[in-house]
Amino acid sequence: QVHLVESGGGLVQVGGSLTLSCAASGRRFSQHTMAWFRQAPGKEREFVAVISWAGMMTYYADSVKDRFTISRDNAKDTVDLQMSSLKPDDTAVYYCAAHAKPNLNNYASSDRYNYWGPGTQVTVSS
């Protein structure tokens, strides 16, 4: 059982940086695959980034590759998403998600994940 809460969202200018954090509670956080998704107004929820339970493997959506970095600190039960060179298209509600198995099968599918946070708003203005 895992509960997730995102924080760190806000309003930033184009080209700026922002770091989101996901705080997890519950048992065996380190055994969960963790991911970030986002949903922009009028669009479907889309995959952003994923990290394996031990932090050995990461994957990113093409739209954020080389701009975003996902990391986790199992000792603190947190998962971060460092965002830089932000664009207006990055504007969305960002969600933290967890899967209760330590593998990356179908990592980009939202249906894979057992737990979700309530989301945090990121707005990039020009």
pLDDT, tens digit, for every residue of 33-74? 999 999 999 999 999 999 998 778 999 999 999 999 999 988
Per-residue exposure over 44-55, b if at least 16 CB sit within 10 Å of its own CB, e if not: eeebbbbbbbee
Local structure of residue 60 (DSSP, 8 states): E
The answer to whether 80 and 19 have CB atoms below 8 angstroms apart is yes
- How do residues 83-125 score in pLDDT, each as one tens digit? 999 999 999 999 999 998 878 889 999 999 999 999 999 999 9
Local structure of residue 117 (DSSP, 8 states): -
**Which candidate, 13, 22, 9, places its Cα nearest to that of 88?**
13
Extended strands (E) in 1-126: 2-7, 10-13, 18-26, 33-39, 46-51, 58-60, 68-73, 78-83, 92-99, 115-116, 120-125
**CA dist., res. 46 & res. 34, Å (int):** 15
**CA dist., res. 47 & res. 71, Å (int):** 16
